[in-house]
Amino acid sequence: SSSGQPAATPSVWASFAPQARNVVRMETGWSLASHVVAGAYASSAKAMHATRRAEGYRIRDFGTHAHFDDGVSAVHMRIGQVHENGRFLGSKSEGAYALNRPTRSNYLHVSARRQLRPGLTVGASLMRLRSHVDFRHNAFVADTQLTAQSAGAYLSLADMIRPGHRLTLHHGAPLAVTSGTIRQTSVAGYTDDGVYRTDSTDVALGVTARHRMTQIVYQAPLAKHIHGFAALARHDNWSHRRGLDNNLLMLGLTMKR
């Protein structure tokens, strides 16, 4: 969101496919006790430009959720599975690495916030995924399991400077593969008996330099239904590339009716 304050993510694919179209979403909820709601959900969408490639791809997400909110503290949890057609975690695999079936990723997403005093709120979120990747050419590359994670925390001050003004500080690590290995096997030659001699190589997919972001956002009302914002962001190891850092300043307007 423009405030930099994480919301309760309606579905996990929003973390690695922020642009989507043809979105279909269904959700149900039942009140189990005071301030406690639980239910189920299902989503389907065609995501656009999830990677550097221009192709879109379809993803499906379904699971269960539970939510506690007493006005001062809130905890939100989702447990589900996301299916990606022809990709894993937004990455396109083709040629020798083509996938045999949609990737299945089981995930847990937890977020929490607490109001320390009127206008002062702290919060955090954590998401963990475990993905099963089924490659088509198993003689060359073996099926594998990957784990991925994202995390973040924020501090928000609202109406403390002037009514309607908000200052938010957020620090987080975007979704990234933290562990997982692909084993590749290739023909290196033949024995004296004419039998294939093969070599196997393990390729680690976990990132070695984690992308981290720190962001400060200030929002203020400018007119009826119009807000202005200024955001300053610092990115370390952009796209998980060690030493590739980035500073970003954004100024903009938002309209809400």
Q: What is the pLDDT at residue 250?
A: 93
Work out the average pLDDT over 130-137.
85
Instruction: List the chain domain ranges.
Output: 21-206
pLDDT at residue 67, as a whole number? 94
- Tens of pLDDT, residue by residue over 36-70, are 999 999 988 877 655 555 566 788 889 999 999 99
Is the per-residue pLDDT at 144 higher than 50?
yes
Burial class (CB in 10 A: 0-12, 13-18, 19+), 120: middle
What is the per-residue pLDDT for 212? 94
What pLDDT, in 10s, does the model give residues 166-199?
A: 999 999 998 888 998 888 888 777 878 877 787 8
Residue-level pLDDT at 54: 57
| Spatial separation of the C-alpha atoms in residues 154 and 55, rounded to whole Å | 34
Query: Can you give the pLDDT at residue 4?
Result: 34
Instruction: Express as a percent the part of the chain with pLDDT over 70.
Output: 88
For residues 110 and 88, give the distance between their C-alpha atoms in angstroms, rounded to a whole number.
22
Per the CB < 8 A criterion, the answer to whether 83 and 58 are in contact is: no
Tell me the whole-structure pTM to 2 decimals: 0.79
- Per-residue confidence (pLDDT) for residue 97, from 0 to 100: 77
Mean pLDDT throughout 131-140? 82
pLDDT at 134: 85
pLDDT of residue 50: 55
Convert the pLDDT of each residue in 13-24 to its tens digit.
666 655 667 778
Predicted local confidence at residue 191, as pLDDT: 78
Give percent of the chain above pLDDT 90. Answer: 41
According to the model, what pLDDT value does residue 168 have? 96
**Looking at per-residue confidence, does 45 or 106 come out higher?**
106
* Average pLDDT over all residues of the chain: 84
The order of strands in the sheet holding 166-179 is: 20-33, 36-47, 57-69, 73-84, 103-117, 120-133, 144-158, 166-179, 212-223, 226-236, 246-255
- The pLDDT of residue 99 is 81
